[in-house]
């Protein structure tokens, strides 16, 4: 499907124009031969007549058919090499595109809403810079209300992408971090480094 815009180089228009070119050259040679005395034209005509005689020689396999077989083999090989080199890069690109489409249509991770994706990016940012991700820092980073962030983090916790750690004591706090599956999701889907 990726190569639909490409045109085959052997078209009827190209063949007709080359045949027309040969016809014009032949007519020009005939006119020059008729009106002018050209020695080069006579030599070329003599060489072409000898070549024609050689092609028409009576042998077990006529020379013209042997010449045609060689021409067919060379042209077939040329076309095969051309298309092998022409489609080599396209197949690689096509395979890569098909792989991306397959991954999008058959995810190994759950589909997330926009807010959940935003929260995953925020948690990945915190993890990438080794910062503590508490409720306030995530709210400031994503510009969502506290209720929306809590709801989104709870949904991500149900999907096993986020883990909540609660510390007790004088300075007790709630910290959110990505699980191993959440880190895989962030690396795969968010394309973080």
Q: How many CB atoms lie within 10 A of CB 60?
A: 4
Residue 167: predicted pLDDT: 80
In this prediction, residue 193 carries a pLDDT of 46
- Which residues share a beta bridge with 174? 166
The DSSP call for residue 168 is -
Digit-by-digit pLDDT tens for the chain (193 residues) are 445 555 555 566 667 777 888 888 888 878 776 766 666 667 888 888 888 887 777 777 777 777 888 899 999 998 888 877 766 565 667 777 777 777 777 666 677 888 888 898 899 888 888 888 888 889 888 888 889 999 999 999 998 889 998 888 777 788 888 888 888 888 877 655 4
Q: Which fold has domain 114-189?
A: Arc Repressor Mutant, subunit A (1.10.10)
How far lies 62's CA from each of 49, 51, 54, 108, 115, in Å? Answer: 17, 13, 9, 66, 79
The pLDDT, as a whole number, for residue 109 is 66
CATH 1.10.10.10 occupies which residues in the chain? 114-189
């Amino acid at each position: 499907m990726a190569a639909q815009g490409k045109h085959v180089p052997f078209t009827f228009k190209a063949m007709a124009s080359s045949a027309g070119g040969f016809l014009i050259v032949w007519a020009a040679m005939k006119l020059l031969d008729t009106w002018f005395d050209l020695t080069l034209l006579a030599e070329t005509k003599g060489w072409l007549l000898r070549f024609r005689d050689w092609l028409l020689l009576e042998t077990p396999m006529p020379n013209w058919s042997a010449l045609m077989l060689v021409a067919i083999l060379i042209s077939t090989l040329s076309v095969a090499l051309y298309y092998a080199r022409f489609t080599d890069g396209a197949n690689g690109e096509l395979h890569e595109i098909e792989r991306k489409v397959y991954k999008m249509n058959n995810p190994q991770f759950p589909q997330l809403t926009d807010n959940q994706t935003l929260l995953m990016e925020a948690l990945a940012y915190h993890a990438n810079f080794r910062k503590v991700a508490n409720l306030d820092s995530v709210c400031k980073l994503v510009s969502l209300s506290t209720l929306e962030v809590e709801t989104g983090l709870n949904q991500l916790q149900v999907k096993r992408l986020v883990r909540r750690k609660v510390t007790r004591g004088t300075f007790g706090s709630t910290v959110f971090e990505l699980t191993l599956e959440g880190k895989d999701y962030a690396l795969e889907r968010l394309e973080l480094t």
